[in-house]
Chains A and B, each alone.
Chain A
Amino acid sequence: MKQLFDPKRNYEETRKLVGYVGRKQATQADYDRIGFMSGLEVHQQLNTKLKLFCRCPAGVFQKPEEFDAELIRHMRPTLSELGEYDGTALMEFKTRKEIVYRISNTSACTYDVDDTPPFPLNREALNIAIAISVLSKLKIVGEVHITRKQYLDGSIPTGFQRTAIIGVEGEIQLKNKKVRLIQLSLEEDSCREVSDIGHVRIYRTDRLGMPLIETVTYPDFANPDEVKEGADYIRFLNRSTGKVRQGIGSTRADVNVSCRGGTRVEIKGVAHTSWMPELTHNEAFRQWALLLIKERLLKPVKDTAAWKIASKEVSLKEIKIDLPEVHKANKSTKIYIVNLPLFRGILSHFTQPGKMFADEITDRLKVIACIEKPNMIHSEMLEDMARDKVWAKVRTILGSREEDAQIIFWGPEADIKTALETIEERCKMAMNGVPNETRKSFENGTTIFERVLPGADRMYPDTDSAPIPLEDEVIENLRKDLAPDICDRYSQLKAWGVPPDTFTFLLKYNLLPLIEKCSGELEIAPKFVATLLGHRLKHLQGKYDAFRLFRNDMVFALLKFIRQRGLDLAIAPKMLRVLFDHPKMDFDSILVTLGYKEVAKEEILGKLPFLVKKYRETRTSGEDAAGHRWIMGSLHKLALGNISLRELNEHIKF
């Protein structure tokens, strides 16, 4: 009668019940079925010399182990609007984290560590933010009010981020729909995390305080592909100004996802837009799965408020489990067994590909109780880490019933109380559906719990900064220099006849102004330049490492040289290849490297009658086409740069 329960089968069955399909197989009907909904918060660093509220240089980075000083802070929740601490506050306070800041003298000052009040807001950053707001069709505010947005995770030493709205209510035009924008704000960037182990979280302060804009959309995206399209659009729009930072970490997005009946969950800091479809897809289904779990629990659990876990401390002698983590741990490590009434079939319930409900608990034990993983095993693991005999004993000690599930967890004595609370809390949340939380993303498209999602009342006016009026004149002046709309840019590329597979690259690196410059000043067809950049340069960038002296604007100088020397454009890709490898080499030397020899067009054409004759004498094939190819091959090297291959080809007459 006992142990007929098969976790593997349960996992597969619940996966089917959820109706999970892979993203590639999913159709709009699947997303409509679960009520997929998503919105974006796209962060973009601005390319200013200095930070936003102090005079430290922006963009000077330190390695994790490099620092001149360290200091320690603890973040305390402040009283919120209703006199209660909000969820995040309580969680962060429970974790009792010691926050260590690693400071480098060159990139951080006493403002950064909250020992000096803010200096006036960086005007250069403000102007860029206004320009991008205008491009995003947002309504520009009359007066910028600097606001404090509380963050208790320590990522900002003050405990809040200084941020200000520049524009509200705008829109962007995607292929098939308009997406509404809620707002664009100008804010200071946070610290970069070095590590977060046990009760110590370490940050470095180099990125802290760098100017950043955040573009927030309404939840208008109806499927995962639209999310990526929107994120790309916003990214390209920001970059079209030429005044934002590019490179690793300069553009990051938080993606908000929910399903029907679910709740807003924020996937934090997604660095690549290509990850978004998989992440949003899986999150919507995770929520759908949690709603099924709720339904399933509410049948047997009559009184959710009264539902309680039972727990007991055990010794390794009592419970023989063979886990290196437990044996390795020191004497202060305690082992606890926990009974979860009526949870059989829940722990092994499908949530994400390769993940089950029990993972939601272990993730929280790590983040809230600060117990490093692995921190628990449970009675429904796909590969059991303890023998049936052990679980039988656990059940006996706890007086479990058949419909219950059990956990064995371990951790430092001081963290046990929080751990038990955390387990009970997460289980009770399951009876409510989807908890509000922020989640950390992984490349494989899954996510783990990161923090409790902060409440709405965490915005306070910054009493250290005066409001900044924005007159019409300022906005009109900035409007004059605006780049064209991204949707117009797409149309322009199509009109030029540029291959569509180059669009993303050209917009990502904001190369359209360069194409326009080449076509305007050098009279080279935009399609040629676009292809040179979108195919050849992209290929080179992909093949060789990113940190090079090569700058994209060198392409203009190269093409100008080709034009001035009267060379045929066909030589451009070859020269680009050499230039990319040796950005300091002068163009004449590049020609030497390529073995280029200046030969008059007439001289090359003059060789044709002789070659035709020679081919006819020696040919093995009767086809003239083969003769064409043979002659082109013979003259190719000589022709390069001197005569276009097409023209040469046209002159070959049999």
Chain B
Amino acid sequence: MTEDIFQGYKGHALEVMQKFNARVWAKVKVDTTRGIFEGTILPRAENTDDKHLVMKFFTGYNIGIDVGTITDIVELGYKKAVYKIPEKEFPYSKGLPSVKLLGTGGTIASRLDYRTGAVIPAFSPGELYGAVPELADICNLTTEKIFAVFSENMGPLQYKKLAVAIGEEIEKGTQGIIIGHGTDTMHYTSAALTFMVQNSPIPIVLVGSQRSSDRPSSDAALNLMHAATAAGHGDIAEVMVCMFGPTSDEYGFLHRGTRVRKMHSSYRSTFRTIGDTPIATVSRKGVVPIKTDYNHRRSDRNVKITPVFEEKVAMIYYYTNMQPDMIDSLIDSGYKGIIIIGTGLGHVNKPLYPAIERAREKGVAVYMTVQTLWGYVGMFVYDTGRDLMAKGVIPLENMLPEVAYIKLGWALGQTSDLEEVKKIMLTPINSDITPREPYNGYLIYQGGVPEVEDFIRKFHK
């Protein structure tokens, strides 16, 4: 492949560059109707217009020049930038636990190419050690890239591959597993792995970052240290999500893979356990359990891997005036299971009833969860609920909608017998359904109230 000397430039901008024989990485003097500009031509980012040339000024700042104003470009020099993450050998320390980091494509550690703005992921142990040297004091780390997809593109294929890879690691005697993951769909993956990998003797910790590690205030390094601590030294042998507790750099939470959800589009402390307390806190000093009923670390290598998933499962978020064709179209498209996210205690409107009846006739499994996220489905309370149950809708207690979707796909992957599926769905696995909601499981304080303001002032948010 010939080298692209016009990286990212198109249309008008490309014509102007070709006209004046200008290329990316050339140091140039550009004559324009606004005066003379000197700098190095940079590649143009995707999804930007074709009206500007981007240059790096000698002070390090980037500026754009309107190609319409350019009257001449003279090349003064040329220097192509090449980027590489510095690698240092990850030191082996006798006595520290062996931890495996499985990569999925999320960039838990990365650096930014300061000229183009491109993010280069750091992944190999050497690269990670270069970025977060403290890891070497926590564990002996090895890494393996299973695949490279963005968080939003994670799906059944990846869940299954991950489950198999985890099984192999446990077989080999690895003492803890970290999974680097994008945060958007981390709680889907944590649910999938909880179902597909059961009775694990070691911790399986999913971790990500809300601020990429090219930023000095990134949460990535601390999250990674927390995850390594939980995976290598923690006693909780479950699938967990490890992310910031408060937004402050203080401690992380370990959330059960089945009770966790991303609750803010950008906060560091975005992951919360819903309807229960987190299972533990973690700092660099170690894991401090909050709950006592967890699976303890064991030294055997017994684990049950069930890497199956029926892809024809859908989740629909009920809204007022939803029409039955929304469900009909799913039935007609051959879907085998539907999770409804209903209002309040688990309701939908009457016009949907015929479609729901049709689903039952066609053998489609229909389950109910709640939009409120906190609380149980309560379909005995109102007529609507009782009507829906009579039409075959099965309430899923306090299972989170995303968890229900994953579990239904996993259950239908094992059997198409709807009674069998129902048994799997309603049998709690790792607290996907909890028998009771503790009083401190629902805490959403509202600001402005004096006692809450007092609390916020006293404790780091």
Q: Which A positions have Cβ atoms within 8 angstroms of B?
A: 67-79, 81, 83-84, 105, 110, 113-117, 139-145, 147-152, 157-160, 163-165, 168-169, 182-183, 185, 216, 456-463, 466-467, 469-472
Contact = CB atoms under 8 A, between A and B. Distances in A.
Contacts of A105: 447
A461 B37 CA distance: 19
Nearest to A83: B86
Contacts of A185: 61
Interface of B: 32-37, 45, 48-49, 51-54, 57, 59-67, 69, 84-86, 111-112, 114, 116-117, 119, 122, 130-131, 211, 213-218, 221-222, 246-250, 264, 266-268, 447, 453, 456-457, 460-461
Contact of B48 (A83, A148, A216, A466): A466
B247 A163 contact: no
B35 A139 contact: yes
A165 B61 contact: yes
Given A142-B66, A168-B57, A469-B66, A78 B213 contact: yes
A150 B216 contact: yes
A84 B86 CA distance: 8
B200 to A, nearest CB: 32
A147 B54 CA distance: 13
Contact of B84 (A83, A160, A182, A216): A83
A71 B119 CA distance: 28
A72 B35 contact: no
Contacts, number: 177
A76 B460 contact: no
Contacts of B447: 105
A150 B112 CA distance: 12
State the main secondary structure of chain A at its contact with B: loop
Nearest to B52: A143
Given A67-B457, A456-B60, A72 B65 contact: no
Nearest to B35: A139
B63 A165 contact: yes
Given A115-B267, A467-B48, A459 B217 contact: no
A535 B266 CA distance: 55
B64 A79 contact: no
A471 B51 CA distance: 11
Nearest to B34: A139
A71 B266 contact: no
A583 to B, nearest CB: 37
Contacts of B246: 71
A139 B264 CA distance: 42
A461 B217 contact: no
Contacts of B54: 143, 145, 467
B60 A469 contact: no
A79 B86 contact: yes
Contacts of A456: 60
A472 to B, nearest CB: 8
Contact of A459 (B45, B114, B131, B250): B114
Nearest to A113: B247
Contacts of B60: 147, 149, 456-459
Contacts of B61: 145, 147, 163-165, 183, 185, 459
B114 to A, nearest CB: 5
B59 A183 contact: yes
24 contacts: A69-B461, A71-B460, A72-B460, A78-B213, A79-B111, A110-B267, A115-B266, A115-B268, A139-B37, A142-B52, A142-B65, A143-B52, A143-B63, A143-B65, A144-B64, A145-B54, A150-B216, A158-B217, A160-B215, A165-B63, A168-B63, A169-B35, A456-B60, A461-B114
Contacts of B214: 78-79, 460
Which 5 residue pairs spanning A and B have beta carbons closest together? Answer: A143-B64, A159-B216, A83-B86, A142-B66, A459-B60
Given A115-B266, A169-B35, A75 B217 contact: yes
Contacts of A472: 33, 66, 69
B16 to A, nearest CB: 12
A543 B214 CA distance: 52
A463 B131 contact: no
Nearest to A463: B117
A145 B456 contact: no
A94 to B, nearest CB: 14
B288 to A, nearest CB: 19
Contacts of B211: 114
Contacts of A84: 86
Given A159-B216, A469-B52, A81 B63 contact: no
Contacts of A141: 37, 63-65
B114 A457 contact: yes
Nearest to B63: A141
A107 to B, nearest CB: 15
A140 B34 contact: yes
A68 B267 contact: no
Contact of A142 (B34, B111, B122, B249): B34
A280 to B, nearest CB: 21
Contacts of A110: 266-267
A141 B67 CA distance: 11
Given A71-B460, A147-B62, A460-B117, A76 B218 contact: yes
A78 B111 contact: yes
Contacts of A114: 211, 215, 217
A159 B221 CA distance: 14
A114 B249 CA distance: 13
A512 B294 CA distance: 76
B130 A142 contact: no
A206 B255 CA distance: 35
A71 to B, nearest CB: 4
Contacts of A73: 217, 248-249
Contacts of B59: 165, 182-183, 216, 459
Contacts of B36: 139, 169
Nearest to B217: A159
Contacts of A78: 111-112, 213-216, 218
Given A74-B222, A142-B69, 19 more contacts: A69-B457, A75-B217, A76-B217, A78-B111, A114-B217, A116-B267, A139-B35, A141-B37, A143-B54, A144-B63, A145-B62, A145-B63, A147-B61, A148-B215, A168-B63, A169-B35, A459-B61, A459-B114, A463-B119
A75 B112 contact: no
A216 B214 CA distance: 27
A230 B35 CA distance: 24
Contacts of A145: 54, 61-64
Contacts of A160: 215-216
A452 to B, nearest CB: 15
Among the interface residues B69, B85, B266, which one has the most CB atoms of the partner chain A within 10 A?
B266
B213 A469 contact: no
A386 to B, nearest CB: 40
B63 A68 contact: no
A152 B447 CA distance: 31
B457 A152 contact: no
A121 to B, nearest CB: 14
A462 B214 CA distance: 11
Which of B216, B249, B264 has the most A CB atoms < 10 Å from its CB? B216
A477 to B, nearest CB: 15
A82 B60 CA distance: 15
A551 B221 CA distance: 53
Contacts of A144: 63-64
B192 to A, nearest CB: 28
Contacts of A83: 84-86, 130
A115 B247 contact: yes
Contacts of A69: 456-457, 460-461
Nearest to B131: A79
Residue with the greatest number of chain B CB neighbours at <10 A, chosen from A113, A117, A141: A141
Contacts of B119: 463
Contact of A461 (B62, B84, B131): B62
A367 B147 CA distance: 45
Contacts of A463: 112, 117, 119
B64 A469 contact: yes
B34 A469 contact: no
